[in-house]
Chain A
Amino acid sequence: MEIKNTVLHAVSQLSAVPQEQICPADTLSSVGIHSIKTVELIVALEDSLGVTFAVEDLDPENLTSVEDVISLAERYKGR
């Protein structure tokens, strides 16, 4: 739950949508997170979670929804 909230908060900081309206099923584009913002989201999450994502896990094709980002963060925090 803590990681999910961290991701939702990070998304809301970069999106025009308030955190309470963002849910995991949302696509990043539907909340205004385009390619440049996705990079900023990754950098912000690395800082706040204290992890370093591998380049092969950052393929934009595999990071299309908020849920994708939560799953990525959970995989690294669970290591």
Chain B
Amino acid sequence: MNMWAFLFGRMSAYPDSLLFDGEEQCTYQQMLEQVRKVGDALAGACPAGTKCAVLCGRGLHTAQALLACWYADMVPIPMSVHYGRGHWDGIIAGTQPALLITDLEQSDLHIPRYHMGEKRFWTEKPVPAPDPQLEGAAVILCTSGTTGTPKGVVLSAWGVQQNVEKIRRYFAVKSKDRILIARPLYHCAVLIGEFLTALCGGLDIGFLDEKYSPAAVLQFTKNHKISVLGGTPTLFYHLAAFIRRDGQQSHRIRAIAISGECLHEAAARQIRQGFPGTDIYHVYGLTEAGPRVSWLPPRDFDQVPTSAGIPLAGVQIKIAETDGTPLPAYTHGHIFVRTPCRMIGYYNDPEATDRAFLDGWLDTGDIGYQDALGYLFILSRADDRIIQGGMNIYPQEVEAGLAQLPFIQECMVWGAAGAVGQHIAAAVVLRPENLDMTHKEVLSRMAEALPPYQIPSELQIVEMLPRNASGKIVRRRPTCTR
């Protein structure tokens, strides 16, 4: 079944459920009518299988654009306005969409555009470019890559639908619930775990388009009687801090889903204090797995809050050596997943796709263990990836940006532990003619050169970077500063 047939059938069962943001609201029935109009315009210009980037400032527009792409049997590539021009350029260069759907007035990305606000093509109609390798694909979701170029994860329509249905089996939400989507639909967990799951369950869906602002999230939940919310441990930790000062009766949220970062015991306790009567689902997944892999039943949260729980129905988890040899309970190892929702592969990168799988098992790149009951615990990454506020950032991406600065001779970036998750730390060696630069001057120039989410929170100016015996840089905090 293609995406549109799947979604149309489910949305049609809830014609009066609502989609809304701070500016407007519409029923599912009205959304279906709007989607048909936009989708007909797209279908008239692009054959099935055409790739289409989506870059909208409003979540409601993004939702409508994605649905219109599926109506027209196109393959959408969601992007986020929060991550900046370099990020968009990387995605467009890597995936080569034929069309961009946007609601931005100033977008100067040089590909044919359909304007979501005006509902018309702004530039010449696209040159159709269906791609045979996207047969059966629902979406291309881009994740960070070690080279700084985003990797496009191609998910199949069948896999996406399976993941939605598997999530709905355990996530006890109903059509009378109201969910707030406070993060971009660019993120797989938000698109599939929140938006599509809510849409298929007939929930009222609110979008908050502000940049990271727990205060605004809390205000929105109060104003719009939100009962369901998804987010990272960082978001819920900050929400708990704001709720604590307002008193416990400051929200009506009855179910939350936490994902995107390792959840530590202390942060879990803070979150529970802010959400004392709430069902807390600690869930785990990754884009390549479609995304959801496991969930912790809410009844277990207070006993084992740091556990990412048990696999979804039909999903298998294996803790193993790097060669796939299984390890016994409580032994730390690589987390492998076998799931019917797995990606088709990385777009245009069969070698990377081959490397991601071992005998049909997806190598998550995460390290963890299972207890005797099979409950999963995530400990760290097998590689250097930094997870800051749920955003995946490879040190190499930041280093590539820093290397462009003329006063930096060499640099190194790593993930340092913060109050909840990780933050970016950097050590730099200045060129001899720039040794008088202060921390402030260096950081200020970094802030001009890097997208906001890549600016280091910690900076060391050092005389040399730590290296091992063979001269390779060792990615850890230097012991000697200048």
Contacts and interface: CB of A to CB of B under 8 A. Distances in A.
Given A14-B457, A36-B389, A43 B238 contact: yes
B218 A17 contact: no
A35 B457 CA distance: 11
A60 B210 contact: yes
A30 B444 contact: yes
Contacts of A39: 212-215, 238
For B211, B213, B459, the residue with the greatest tally of chain A CB atoms inside 10 Å of its CB is B213
Contacts of A58: 213, 215-216
Interface stretch (B90-98, B399-407, B435-443): B435-443
A34 interface: yes
Contacts of B219: 55
B444 A31 contact: yes
A77 B471 CA distance: 54
A31 B216 contact: no
Given A36-B389, A39-B238, A17 B457 contact: no
Contacts of A43: 238, 241-242
For A39, A40, A52, the residue with the greatest tally of chain B CB atoms inside 10 Å of its CB is A39
B450 to A, nearest CB: 10
Contacts of B459: 16-17, 32
B5 interface: no
Contact of A34 (B234, B242, B438, B452): B452
B456 interface: yes
Interface in B226-276: 234, 238, 241-242, 245-246
A46 B241 CA distance: 10
Contacts of B426: 16
A34 B215 contact: no
Given A39-B238, A55-B215, A58-B215, A32 B245 contact: no
A10 interface: no
B213 A31 contact: no
Contact of B212 (A14, A17, A36, A55): A36
Nearest to A23: B440
A30 to B, nearest CB: 4
Contact of B443 (A17, A46, A52, A59): A17
Contact of B447 (A29, A36, A59): A29
A37 interface: yes
A10 B438 CA distance: 20
B375 to A, nearest CB: 29
For A22, A30, A52, the residue with the greatest tally of chain B CB atoms inside 10 Å of its CB is A30
Given A40-B419, A55-B219, A35 B440 contact: no
Interface string B3-36: 0000000000000000000000000000000000
15 contacts: A15-B443, A16-B443, A16-B456, A16-B458, A22-B440, A26-B444, A29-B455, A34-B452, A35-B211, A35-B213, A37-B457, A39-B213, A55-B216, A55-B218, A60-B212
Given A36-B389, A39-B215, A52-B246, 20 more contacts: A16-B458, A16-B459, A17-B438, A17-B459, A18-B439, A21-B438, A26-B444, A27-B447, A31-B443, A31-B444, A32-B443, A35-B211, A35-B213, A36-B238, A39-B212, A39-B238, A40-B238, A42-B215, A58-B216, A59-B216
